[in-house]
Structure 1
Amino acid sequence: MSGEPQTADVSSLAAQVKKLSREADVRKLHHKYGYYIDKCLYKENNYQVSQLFADHPDTYVQFLNGRFIGKKGVDRLYIERFAKRFVGGRNGPIDGWLLDHLMAQDIIDFDPKTGRAKARIRALMSAGTHESLSADYPGGYRQWWEGGVYENEYILQDGVWKILRLRYYPFWHGSFELGWKQAKEFVPMFKEQFPADPLGPDELLADFSLWPDTRVVPFHYKHPITGQEVAEEDMQAPKWLEEASTAPPARTITDWGV
């Protein structure tokens, strides 16, 4: 008997194990990221969020209507902006500040041809300030819910998985007290980019809006049965009983990488 079928089976199993193992590693990386940002662990050596990002020219974080590019941009967002505004510059939580991210419905895909991985992950956040916080705290006393989705890319560097492109699309905000009756921007949009805004993004994104905009964030994967992409008009969100041609264009992600 020839050993070729057995060899082929072993190779196939090894490829499957490699794929599953790398997808599990990426899933762990993102969930660990979520736990760190829950508690504002941005900048110490063991917990510095920027260390989770690749040292790569294509690295960026997309948050709201801004894009923070490179490791310098990542540090500007998490250490200069978030740490200073949320917890007064310290590394870690402060009493009375809630920022809990639930990560769920994660779909992770490792591509053996590129050696990279992509992920779509849903986020549900409860956030707010307790009445015991100082009246001088930025933003005052408020509580809100937030929902959104990530479409991220990851890369192996020196045998370790790191975040290459983090794209977070918050869809809606709503207050604990009034829900959709107060679905405003609890986190304000960026008005200027860096350096005009010293803590601002390197790029401003024109095509971004929250609820009631319900356009689809493009999927990194094709339909598992048909192998087809979702049609562009199906990712739009026209008014009730109106044609897609009357609606704003679909959202796009143009820099998926190789």
Structure 2
Amino acid sequence: MSSEVEELKKVVAQLQKEVTRLSDQEEVRKLQYKYGYYLDKCLYQEVVELYADHPDTCVEFLGGRYNGKDGVKRLYIGRFASAFVNGRNGPVHGFLLDHPQIQGIVDVNSEGTRAKGRFRSMMSAGTHESIKDTHPRGLVQWWEGGIYENEYIKENGVWKIFRLKYFPFWHATFEKGWSYTKPNYVPFLNTTYPEDPMGPNELCKDPMLWPDTRVVPFHYVHPVTGEQVKDDDLRAPHHGQDPSTSAPALVLSKPKSES
């Protein structure tokens, strides 16, 4: 009987561990979804509070890296709020900026303290014609598609965004679509803080934008082979050309404490 009890205890412990892992996965997924809902409505203060207070916290966006909680605030409350909603926290009439968070794949470490997640966003954005003379963007409507490869951390028992790495894969005007996207449609960030008061702390290596179609590296291995995708297969040469003619494969950054 005692051996059966011990075996049952092991089963219960394993089930408890699995329930905790699944619960953590769902909490991280919900965290990213909530990020999207706040971002849709320009609730930048709420977005910033989703981020960890860790010194290695960062946001990577359009070729720039905003470091620490101060950098996160500079991007959302500084750059975005100023550009889109005249510095307020919340939406302005007639301005659309939807960021659906979809295809979420979340993996939590064995300690239940860190997680990684891959998500896709398909953004529709623009202004209503009734505000074309009062909004700084004028009359505009555009599409955007991007990939997130993020890291999350549990601080004081609460899951937070640790390192958000967003790769805006493509942009397009609503009228002409992605086939006619002009080069440098959204210029990469090229001036750092404090020279640019709302700029990133540092610039990222090898930024990408449509029609560049390099693969954003996966944080996970192939579920059947257990292998990572080869670097050459992450590259995007012109049709019929060797991978070596392409820009280098993208590399996901690591926290400085782990470099």
TM-score range, shorter chain: over 0.9
Distance 2:242 2:186 in 1: 32
Q: Which residue of 2 aligns with 1:169?
A: 167
Q: Which residue of 1 aligns with 2:23?
A: 21
Distance 1:160 1:181 in 2: 43
2:79 alignment partner AA: R
Equivalent residue in structure 2 for 1:155, among 153, 156, 160: 153
Does residue 143 of the first structure (1) align with residue 141 of the second (2)?
Answer: yes
Q: Which residue of 1 aligns with 2:62?
A: 64
Instruction: Report if aligned partners of 1:144, 1:186 keep a CA contact under 8 Å in 2.
Output: no
Distance 1:207 1:114 in 2: 32
Distance 1:176 1:7 in 2: 59
Distance 1:187 1:37 in 2: 19
Q: Which residue of 2 aligns with 1:73?
A: 71
Distance 2:214 2:64 in 1: 18
Distance 2:15 2:61 in 1: 39
User: What does the per-residue CA deviation read over 1:82-133, in whole Å, with 9 as the maximum and x for residues that have no partner?
Assistant: 1111000111111111000111110011112362011000000000111111
Structure ranking higher in helix proportion: 2
Distance 1:188 1:244 in 2: 26
2:25 alignment partner AA: E
Q: Which residue of 1 aligns with 2:42?
A: 40
Distance 1:135 1:186 in 2: 23
Tell me the matched-pair count: 254
1:229 alignment partner AA: Q
- Identical positions, percent: 55
Equivalent residue in structure 2 for 1:133, among 131, 134, 137: 131
Q: Which residue of 1 aligns with 2:251?
A: 252
2:155 alignment partner AA: Q
Q: Which residue of 1 aligns with 2:189?
A: 190
Instruction: Report if aligned partners of 2:170, 2:178 keep a CA contact under 8 Å in 1.
Output: no
Distance 2:179 2:212 in 1: 16
Distance 1:17 1:114 in 2: 11
Instruction: Report if aligned partners of 1:50, 1:74 keep a CA contact under 8 Å in 2.
Output: yes
Q: Which residue of 2 aligns with 1:237?
A: 236
Q: Which residue of 1 aligns with 2:178?
A: 180
Distance 1:154 1:42 in 2: 19
Gaps of 5+ in 1: none
Q: Given the two structures, how large is their TM-score scaled by the length of structure 2? A: 0.93
User: What does the per-residue CA deviation read over 1:38-64, in whole Å, with 9 as the maximum and x for residues that have no partner?
Assistant: 000112xxxx22111000011001111
For residue 131 of structure 2, give the secondary structure of its aligned residue in structure 1: coil
Moved over 6 A (4+): none
Shift, 1:191, TM fit: 2.5
Q: Which residue of 1 aligns with 2:222?
A: 223
Shift, 1:254, TM fit: 3.4
What is the correspondence of 1:80-119 to structure 2 with a 5 Å cutoff? 80-113=78-111, 115-119=113-117
